[in-house]
Amino acid sequence: MEDERNLQEQLLSLHSISVEIAGLRELGEIHDRALGYCLELTDSQFGFTGILREPGTGVIATGELRVSDMVMEVAAIRGFDADPKFYEQFRTMALRSSVAGVVIREDCSHLTNDVDGDPYSVGQPQGHPRITKFLGVPLRLKDRVIGMIGVANKSGGYGPDDERLLSTFAAQVAVAVDNARLYEHQRQMIGELRQLHERLTEAERLQLLGRERARIAGALHDQIEQEVFTIGVRLNALLEDASLEPRVAQELRALRQLSIDASDEIRKAIFALTSPRRVSGGLTDELRSMLSEFERETGIHAHLSVSGSASKDIDRVDDVVRLVVEEVLTNAKKHADARMVLVSLRYEPPKLDLVIQDDGKGAPAALLRTFEDSYLHFGLRHIRELVIDRGGVFEVANGDEAGLVVRITLPLEDGA
């Protein structure tokens, strides 16, 4: 009865300390705390925990004897104060046949109350405390051994209950060790991500920001703007009914104007979001980067031709140039069925000329006649307004042979 009570008390204690060990995150603390409890649970004088130096290639638990050239590193040790030189020499242990090594090589517990007479005994190194009794159990994760726990010199010797108790605790320690490794790996990854973020240049940060702005703008264009467009179309269809009462027709026209105004505001927001941020190198490099990304995303060949040299006055119009190019590229991607886009930029102070031409199917004649006043063609109408507001000239037409041609001229000086 006394032995049974002691076993119950040990199991309750084991549960409590297992929960405590599982909550630790530092490997050193886990090994040290676990080893202390191992000595208490087994009433041992001396003990250690060891971890395979290369845990990813541990001994597979097949029950077969396997020779390994791996080594085990002592993670924690208690029970004697050794000379520092002893630790330097014996901090690692070759996985050869010994009372400790056999635990990992054969993936099984090893209990002996006569170390000197044990068939696996190979003697003890000079400076090591004398071990007369030994119990070792593997630290195992599923079918992989990652290390071991060894305790020694229990007064009266070890028995099967000690082995079961230590093996059960070892399973909890192995999980805690693995969790701590994962936690440490996660911390390292977070640290590396922070370092990466800190290393990002201003241009890279702006590029990442630009992608997110483009994503939001795309959502506005593809969903909200299209829904407002649909509302306008349906209101137009209703207004075509000649039998409508004047009061109802007036309300519908007011709603249609609201949809037009809403579409204008959405388009302004899209333009604001998709306006490229500045990167080093100026407008020419920004356009080259834009065309390169366009070509990569669409497979449409894009070429930039530049003549002349930019002056400091380009700052007053470069945002308009970028928005015009972006809108025309968007139209080429969605509507033109083009295989090639050519962008020609000519710096000719006091003005700048931009021509964008694709080899697609062009635009319907009705669109080219009405887009300036139509609420259905926001893109062309708004870039035209942007150019006109900066004192420029905007022209759009179908090419002589194919595709659409957009030409703009922008003054580089006030009053030019």
Same domain for 169 and 41, yes or no, is: yes
Instruction: State how far the alpha carbon of 340 is from the alpha carbons of 25, 291, 323, 336, 356, in Å.
Output: 58, 11, 19, 10, 11
Q: Which residues pair with 143 in a beta bridge?
A: none
Please tell me whether residues 18 and 144 are part of one structural domain: yes
Residue pLDDT, tens place only, 149-174? 999 999 999 999 889 888 888 888 88
What number is the average pLDDT over the span 267-289? 66
Same domain flag for 58 and 149:
yes
Q: How far is CA 28 from the centre of its chain?
A: 29
Shared domain check, 305 and 238:
no
pLDDT of 208-242, one tens digit each? Answer: 666 666 667 666 666 676 677 677 777 777 778 77
21 shares its domain with 157: yes
| pLDDT of res. 280 | 42
CATH number at residue 142: 3.30.450.40
The count of domains in the chain is: 3
Tell me which residue range forms the domain holding 304: 279-416
pLDDT for the residue numbered 223: 65
Query: Which of 237, 255, 274 is the last residue in one of the domains?
Result: 274
Q: Write the pLDDT tens digit of every residue in 109-156.
A: 999 999 999 998 888 777 777 889 999 999 988 778 888 999 999 999
From 196, 231, 255, the end of a domain falls on 196
Q: Could you read off the pLDDT of 329-371 as tens digits, one per residue? A: 988 888 878 889 999 999 888 889 999 999 988 888 887 887 7
For residue 87, name the pLDDT band (cuts at 50, 70, 90). Answer: low
Tell me, what CATH number does 389's domain have? Answer: 3.30.565.10
Q: What is the mean pLDDT of residues 377-381?
A: 71
Q: Are residues 171 and 259 in the same domain?
A: no
Tens digit of each residue's pLDDT (9 = 90 or more) over 14-73: 666 766 776 777 888 888 888 888 888 888 998 998 888 764 444 444 444 344 456 788
Of 196, 225, 243, the residue at which a domain comes to its end is 196
Q: Are residues 186 and 213 in the same domain?
A: no
In the numeric block, the tokens 């349906």 are attached to 234
Examine the domain organization and report whether 72 and 212 are in the same domain.
Answer: no
Lowest mean pLDDT among 3-7, 74-78, 260-264, 386-390: 3-7
Using the predicted structure, report yes or no on whether residue 406 has a pLDDT greater than 70. yes
Same domain, 191 and 52: yes
Whether residues 283 and 359 fall in one domain: yes
- The 3-state secondary structure of 368-396, one letter per residue: HHHCCCCCCCHHHHHHHHHHHHCCCEEEE
Residue type, 285: D
